[in-house]
Structure 1
C-alpha cells in the first residue's frame, strides 16, 4: 500500500492494489522518445493524474486504474 498526496494538499488517497511502473527519465526524454514536447508529456501526465488513473512521484509513474487507461487508448 502507498499513499499518493499532491503537493500543497491535505488530501491523501490510499491504494492497496496498484501496478507500479518505474521510468527513470525526464519528461523531456519521454517526449523525445514518443515525438512530443516536454510540455505535452507534463500536461498529459497531469491530466491522467487528475482523473486518478495514475499517480506520479519522482521518476515513477504508479498506474492506479489500468482499465480506464486502456479504454482511453482505445478511443
Structure 2
C-alpha cells in the first residue's frame, strides 16, 4: 500500500491515480491518514455493488430500513 502526503498527491495525481488501480493509496494530511484512493472495481467489490448498475433499489431500501429500523419505528409513532 502506498502512503503519500496530500501535497505530493496533488503534484503527482496522475501517477498516484495509476498506482491506485493496483493497490489503495493512502493520502495523508499533517502526518495523519485522511483519504484512501482505490480503483472503482475495488470499491464496487467492497460495497457489493455490481459494475455499471445503480443497485437494486428495493434491496438498498431494505438495508437502510434494517439499519435504521428502530428510528423509523419511533418516527412512525409520532
TM-score (norm 2): 0.25
Larger radius of gyration: 2
Larger strand proportion of the pair: 1
Say which structure, 1 or 2, has more relative contact order (CA 8 Å, 6+ apart).
1
TM-score (norm 1): 0.26
Larger helix proportion of the pair: 2
